[in-house]
């Protein structure tokens, strides 16, 4: 191993030409030292990439709980129903929220009797069903989209995330569906209709 002290390119200028700066940093990095430093830098970079990957995997697991299971079985002008279970705690009844066309409608606990969920071995009890009454919606040609989310508290309650249960279901509301429930189109926006609960 050979130790060489070489210039950083500034000694030639010297203090006489650069009176406002002191002596240059002496660079004593040897060939072997350079090799070791390269390895250390690469190792640190790899360790940091793995750390950031682990950090975000842990973050995603904690905040976007992947153990919710369930389905939305029915969605129409009268109701939206299905079931939801947290496989990490099959005995716990989870809170679910209904959104129609991206607008929040209601929140409730999935606690209705669903013997089929118990029979399928999805939960340790049958009380994991939910049913929402569909709010009055304006009759229209285009479909409405219903999504149900399980609510998950993370970070010691600091953050709450919504995890979709099953698939989004689409349904139509026509004048004939239920005159008492299907709102007459009167130019009011969908959001305003959803707001009336």
Partner 1 sequence: MSVAVRGREAAESTAATIGGAHAEERARASQSRSLAAFEIVSIAASALVAEWAVIAAVGFRPAWHAVPVGLAFALMIYSHRLRGETVREIGWNVSQFWPALRLLTIPMLAGSLLLALAGWLWLGATFRLGDSRAGWAVLGFPVWGLSWGLLQQYVLQGFVNRRAQIVFGRGWPSVLLTAATFALLHLPNPWLTAATFAGGLLWAWVYQRAPNLFALALSHAAMTWVLVSALPDSALRGLRVGFKYFT
Q: Which residue reads 């609510």 in tokens?
A: 151
Burial class (CB in 10 A: 0-12, 13-18, 19+), 194: buried
Is residue 168 at the binding interface for partner 1, with CB under 8 A as the rule? no
CB neighbours of residue 133 within 10 Å: 14
Count interface residues toward partner 1 (CB under 8 A): 40
1, 16, 20, 179: residue in contact with partner 1 (rule CB under 8 A): 20
| Nearer to partner 1 among residue 56 and residue 168 (C-beta) | 56
Is residue 16 at the binding interface for partner 1, with CB under 8 A as the rule? no
| Nearer to partner 1 among residue 157 and residue 180 (C-beta) | 157
Is residue 160 at the binding interface for partner 1, with CB under 8 A as the rule? no
What b-and-e string marks burial along 39-66, b requiring 16 or more CB atoms within 10 Å of the CB? eeeeeeeeeeeeeeeeeeeeeeeebebe
Rounded to 5 degrees, what are φ and ψ at 49? -65, -45
4, 157, 176, 197: residue in contact with partner 1 (rule CB under 8 A): 4
Burial class (CB in 10 A: 0-12, 13-18, 19+), 136: middle
Which of these, 124, 62, 65, lies nearest to 90 by C-alpha position? 124
Rounded to 5 degrees, what are φ and ψ at 183? -70, 145
1, 22, 79, 174: residue in contact with partner 1 (rule CB under 8 A): 22
1, 3, 78, 108: residue in contact with partner 1 (rule CB under 8 A): 3
Is residue 29 at the binding interface for partner 1, with CB under 8 A as the rule? yes
| Nearer to partner 1 among residue 157 and residue 179 (C-beta) | 157
| 83 vs 69: CA distance, rounded Å | 8
Is residue 45 at the binding interface for partner 1, with CB under 8 A as the rule? yes
Across-strand partners of 149? 97, 164
Minimum distance, C-beta of residue 152 to partner 1, in the bound complex (Å): 16
Task: Mark the segment that binds partner 1 (CB under 8 A) among 4-12, 71-79, 121-129, 176-184.
Answer: 4-12
Is residue 24 at the binding interface for partner 1, with CB under 8 A as the rule? yes
Binding residues for partner 1, rule: CB under 8 A, are: 3-4, 6-10, 13, 18, 20-31, 33-34, 36-38, 40-41, 44-45, 47-48, 51-52, 55-56, 58-59, 155, 158
């Amino acid at each position: 191993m050979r130790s060489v002290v070489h210039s950083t390119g500034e000694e030639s200028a010297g203090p006489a030409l650069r009176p406002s700066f002191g002596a240059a940093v002496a660079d004593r990095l040897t060939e072997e030292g350079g090799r070791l430093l390269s390895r250390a830098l690469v190792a640190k970079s790899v360790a940091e990439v793995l750390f950031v990957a682990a950090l975000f995997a842990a973050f995603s697991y904690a905040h976007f709980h992947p153990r919710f299971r369930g389905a939305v079985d029915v969605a129409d002008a009268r109701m939206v129903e299905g079931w939801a279970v947290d496989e990490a705690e099959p005995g716990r009844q989870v809170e679910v929220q209904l959104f129609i066309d991206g607008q929040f409608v209601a929140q409730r606990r999935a606690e209705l009797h669903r013997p089929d969920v118990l029979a399928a071995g999805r939960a340790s009890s049958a009380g994991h069903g939910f049913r929402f009454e569909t709010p009055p919606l304006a009759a229209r040609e285009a479909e409405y989209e219903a999504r149900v989310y399980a609510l998950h508290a993370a970070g010691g309650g600091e953050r709450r995330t919504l995890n979709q249960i099953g698939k989004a279901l689409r349904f139509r509301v026509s004048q004939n569906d239920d005159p008492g429930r299907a709102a007459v189109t009167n130019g009011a926006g969908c959001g305003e209709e959803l707001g009336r609960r």
